Amino acid sequence: MRSIPSTPRWLGLFGLLPMLACLGYALVGDAEWREAARIVGGLYAGLILSFLGGAWWGIASAAPAAEGRGTLGWVWVAAVSPSLVAMGAGLWWLADPERPEPALVTIGFAILASPLVDLRLMQMGLTPRWWTGLRWPLSLTLGAATLGLAYL
């Protein structure tokens, strides 16, 4: 991570703290704290998933090919998908608040898979060289922590 500029590196790492705090509370807290930590952690993971879609939208918008047709079509779909997945998982959770596991697993796996989009964007030359070096560890940590909340 040393090749990543310090501002995105540190802000990215600090961005893991809310989820790690939620996971910690879920592990050591009583049942009331565990449920609160799962709710807050699930909301945070959904927000970050949506944020990733916004980042992809910005990357696609800044690409020289953004005005044309074809090559970036999949990026626009990928950019909207995280918000739809997060919203769908949230509605699923609302429909069955006693069983948050399916929603947390859905969000967790979506976050774990998200670097694949970043990898393709990098291969297309649309991201800075350091982008995937930042995204992989952040997504693996956040996705694993979200799955951890699902199974506590």
- Per DSSP, the residues of the chain read -TTS-HHHHHHHHHTTHHHHHHHHHHHHS-HHHHHHHHHHHHHHHHHHHHHHHHHHHHHHHHSGGGGSSSTTHHHHHHHHHHHHHHHHHHHHHHH-TT--HHHHHHHHHHHHHTHHHHHHHHHTT-S-TTHHHHHHHHHHHHHHHHHHHHT-
Q: Which two tokens stand for residue 24?
A: 């910690």
User: Mean pLDDT throughout 93-98?
Assistant: 94
What is the tens place of the pLDDT at every residue in 37-72?
999 999 999 999 999 999 999 998 887 766 555 667
User: Mean pLDDT throughout 101-112?
Assistant: 97
Contacts of 98 (CB under 8 A, 6+ apart): none
* Whether this model's pTM surpasses 0.75: yes
User: Mean pLDDT throughout 11-27?
Assistant: 96
Where do the domains of the chain lie? 6-150
